[in-house]
């Protein structure tokens, strides 16, 4: 039986009341518990009476320090108990219009409520008091045992009601190791354009959940193949089938998915950078006179495209800027035959807290090249960066003189000249001809600079 301190308190508080035996856990927490997966902290309780009345009674009974948040239109209420959000849901049926994802709602039975849910395995119920498992659709337990993802109603109807369920179908299939029921993939392809009514924020949330699991490359491959990616990131479609030449054994899209696999799933910014690092290649591809495939400037164009896509999906400006910066810089470590101390100082200064992410991205990219291709000596690069960072922290990689000190020493007025001089001194620090913080040597160099 699924146990949690918040659930135990609700069960105890409702014993010997009209709610005893009539409260049912539903959704992923029941599914995952039956599959033996780690306990979910996402709890939904469904009942055939008023969810708002129950949540209010529990609040007044002292189970929560804050009053419930009630969504009267949908018959739901949310209460925080034992630092855990609990969603209370009045069993309901829903109807949708062509243009909207906002349903018309009316009270219903547990079976009717189950029919409106996304998949049969997510419609299984567990009684909060007795632990009894109830399969209102009479197919959920069989589908769970068979590891089959099936919609309660005709899939076209289920996906029409909430098109986000198409992305969820792909995520669940790969995360749980399930198969699609017959006709489900075809229904997704036929309904893919319906995703246009879903907000960018909800699509972003699903994408982030996909990226947080080791099966992300397989899930992304499938959402592209089913036509879902075209609805929010058509740039991915443009990457499919783009050949890359002798250093690669995979076309751009498959190479990208392999880079994502090597990058791992623990860091969202790194995962996003892996997905978009070569997004600029289709538009920059050319074949030179010697027959070599080139992608000149793809990292610069890719950074611009990445920022556009992430803003379209309503990612934060911080995440957008950092991912785009990684995309723009992913080629810089291999831009010269040797990785000098000067190059190390520059990358330390430019990448800041995302330096390790850049190194990880380049490692993942390098590991995804054609086997046998000579690649960067990343160990040497890491060692060089480590030596330079130990000698010169990033916050010292700047002009030893402030703007005011430059004005006083050169006896000039504030203006663009001051910025030019300060940039020149910073360049001397990066080149290693001026030690960080050495004001005396900086003034000596300025005497020559101004002379």
Q: Which of 146, 168, 203 is the last residue of a domain?
A: 146
Per-residue pLDDT for 414 more than 80? yes
pLDDT at 450: 56
Closest CA to 161 of 252, 93, 222: 93
Dihedral sign, CA of 145, 147, 151, 153? negative
Residue range 159-165: mean pLDDT, rounded: 94
Residue range 315-327: mean pLDDT, rounded: 98
Per-residue pLDDT for 446 more than 90? no
Residue 206 belongs to a domain? no
Residue range 280-284: mean pLDDT, rounded: 96
Residues with Cβ within 8 Å of residue 389, at least 6 apart in sequence: 344, 348
Same domain, 11 and 141: yes
Q: What is the pLDDT of residues 352-387, one digit of tens each?
A: 899 999 999 999 999 998 887 877 888 889 999 888
pLDDT at 8: 95
Same domain, 48 and 107: yes
Same domain, 420 and 392: no
pLDDT at 336: 66
CA 345 to each of CA 327, 376, 390: distance values in angstroms, whole numbers, following the listed order: 19, 18, 11
Q: Are strands 43-47 and 24-26 parallel, antiparallel or unpaired?
A: antiparallel
Per-residue pLDDT for 96 more than 90? no
Same domain, 370 and 417: no
Q: What angle do CA 247, 284, 291 make, to 5 degrees?
A: 50
Which position has the higher pLDDT, 372 or 190? 190
The C-alpha atoms of residue 343 and residue 333 are separated, in whole angstroms, by 8
Domains held by the chain: number: 3
Residue 277 belongs to a domain? yes
Residue 182 belongs to a domain? no
Residues with Cβ within 8 Å of residue 26, at least 6 apart in sequence: 44, 45, 46, 89, 117, 122, 123, 124, 125, 126
Residue 12 belongs to a domain? yes
Same domain, 326 and 434: no
The highest-confidence range among 95-99, 313-317, 369-373, by mean pLDDT, is 313-317
162 CB-contact burial (10 Å; exposed 0-12 / middle 13-18 / buried 19+)? buried
Same domain, 368 and 274: yes
Q: Which domain holds residue 411?
A: 403-450
Closest CA to 320 of 364, 272, 383: 272
Same domain, 415 and 385: no
Residue range 392-398: mean pLDDT, rounded: 80
Q: What angle do CA 297, 361, 312 make, to 5 degrees?
A: 65
Q: Which of 374, 396, 418 is the last residue of a domain?
A: 396
Same domain, 12 and 59: yes
CA 205 to each of CA 58, 221, 319, 332, 358: distance values in angstroms, whole numbers, following the listed order: 30, 18, 14, 32, 24
Residue 352 belongs to a domain? yes
Which position has the higher pLDDT, 223 or 398? 223
The C-alpha atoms of residue 253 and residue 237 are separated, in whole angstroms, by 8
The DSSP result for 68-87, as a single string, is: PEEEGGGTEEEEEETTEEEE
pLDDT at 424: 85
Q: Which of 355, 374, 396 is the last residue of a domain?
A: 396
Same domain, 433 and 340: no
Contact 230, 192 (CB under 8 A): yes
pLDDT at 248: 85
Same domain, 37 and 77: yes
Same domain, 34 and 140: yes
The C-alpha atoms of residue 97 and residue 268 are separated, in whole angstroms, by 35
Q: What angle do CA 227, 228, 231 make, to 5 degrees?
A: 100
Q: What is the CATH number of the domain that holds 58?
A: 3.30.460.10
Q: Percentage of the chain surpassing pLDDT 70?
A: 96
Residue 205 belongs to a domain? no
Residue 94 belongs to a domain? yes
pLDDT at 451: 45
Same domain, 346 and 428: no
Lowest average pLDDT, out of 115-119, 161-165, 215-219, 405-409, goes to 405-409
pLDDT at 438: 80
Per-residue pLDDT for 335 more than 70? no
Residues with Cβ within 8 Å of residue 254, at least 6 apart in sequence: none
Residue 51 belongs to a domain? yes
């Amino acid at each position: 039986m699924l146990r949690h301190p918040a659930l135990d308190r609700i069960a105890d508080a409702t014993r010997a009341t009209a709610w005893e035996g009539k409260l049912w856990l539903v959704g992923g927490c029941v599914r995952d518990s039956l599959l033996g997966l780690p306990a979910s902290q996402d709890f939904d309780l469904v009942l055939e009476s008023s969810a708002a009345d129950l949540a209010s009674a529990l609040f007044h009974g002292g189970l929560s320090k804050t009053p419930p948040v009630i969504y009267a239109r949908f018959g739901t209420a949310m209460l925080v108990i034992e630092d855990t959000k609990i969603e209370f849901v009045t069993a309901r049926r829903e109807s949708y219009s062509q243009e909207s994802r906002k349903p018309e709602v009316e009270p219903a039975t547990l079976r009717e409520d189950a029919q409106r849910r996304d998949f049969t395995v997510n419609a299984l119920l567990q009684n909060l008091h007795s632990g009894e498992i109830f399969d209102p659709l009479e197919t959920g337990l069989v589908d769970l045992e068979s590891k089959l993802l099936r919609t309660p109603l005709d899939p076209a109807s289920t996906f029409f009601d909430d098109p986000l369920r198409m992305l969820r179908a792909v995520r669940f299939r790969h995360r749980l190791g399930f198969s699609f029921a017959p006709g489900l993939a075809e229904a997704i392809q036929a309904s893919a354009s319906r995703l246009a009514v879903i907000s960018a924020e909800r699509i972003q949330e699903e994408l982030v959940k996909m990226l947080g699991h080791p099966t992300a490359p397989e899930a992304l491959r499938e959402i592209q193949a089913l036509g879902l990616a075209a609805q929010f990131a058509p740039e991915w479609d443009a990457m499919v089938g783009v050949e890359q030449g002798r250093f690669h054994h995979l076309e751009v899209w498959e190479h990208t998915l392999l880079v994502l696999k090597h990058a791992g799933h623990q860091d969202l910014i790194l995962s996003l950078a892996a997905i978009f690092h070569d997004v600029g290649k289709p538009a920059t591809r050319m074949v030179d006179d010697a027959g070599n495939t080139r992608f000149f400037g793809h990292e610069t164009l890719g950074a611009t495209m990445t920022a556009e896509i992430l803003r379209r999906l309503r990612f934060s400006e911080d995440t957008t800027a950092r991912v785009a910066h990684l995309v723009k810089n992913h080629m810089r470590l291999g831009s010269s035959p040797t990785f000098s101390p000067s190059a190390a100082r520059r990358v330390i200064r430019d990448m800041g807290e995302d330096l390790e992410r850049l190194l990880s991205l380049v490692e993942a990219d390098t590991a995804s090249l054609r086997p046998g291709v000579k690649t960067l000596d990343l160990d040497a690069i890491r060692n060089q960066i480590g030596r330079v960072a130990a000698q010169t922290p990033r916050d010292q990689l700047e002009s030893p003189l402030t703007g005011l000190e430059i004005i006083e020493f050169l006896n000039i007025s504030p203006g663009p000249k001051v910025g030019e001089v300060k940039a020149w001194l910073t360049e001397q620090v990066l080149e290693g001809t001026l030690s960080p913080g050495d004001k005396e040597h900086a003034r000596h160099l300025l005497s020559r600079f101004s002379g």
